[in-house]
């Protein structure tokens, strides 16, 4: 029997990339690859921005989870 309420992933890491704050940086890097015919060297700045965004997102997630307990 299907639930009528929307299913949310149990962990933020299981969320879709489109739900991420880094989605604009992700799409910009893909668009750059399209424009430059997969010449990665011309898109390094986009990759670096996306990588830094993901790092900040991961750090924020770790900080949120730091105070959680498995036994609460």
In a domain, 43, yes or no: yes
In a domain, 6, yes or no: no
Expressed in angstroms, the distance from the first to the final Cα of the chain is 29
In a domain, 54, yes or no: yes
Q: Total domain count for the chain?
A: 1
CA distance 6 to 9: 10
In a domain, 60, yes or no: yes
Pick 69 or 61 by higher pLDDT.
61
CA distance 50 to 53: 5
In a domain, 29, yes or no: no
pLDDT, tens only, 19-49: 889 999 999 999 999 999 878 899 999 999 9
pLDDT at 2: 46
- Domain extent at residue 51: 39-64
Residue from 53, 55, 29 nearest 43 by CA: 29
In a domain, 26, yes or no: no
Q: What percentage of the chain has pLDDT greater than the value 90?
A: 49
What pTM value is reported for the model?
Answer: 0.68
């Amino acid at each position: 029997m299907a639930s009528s309420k929307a299913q949310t992933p149990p962990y933020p890491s299981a969320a879709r990339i489109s739900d991420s704050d880094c989605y604009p940086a992700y799409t910009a890097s893909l668009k750059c690859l399209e424009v430059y015919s997969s010449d990665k060297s011309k898109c390094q700045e986009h990759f670096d921005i996306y990588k830094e965004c993901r790092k900040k997102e991961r750090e924020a997630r770790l900080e949120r989870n730091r105070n959680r307990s498995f036994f609460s």
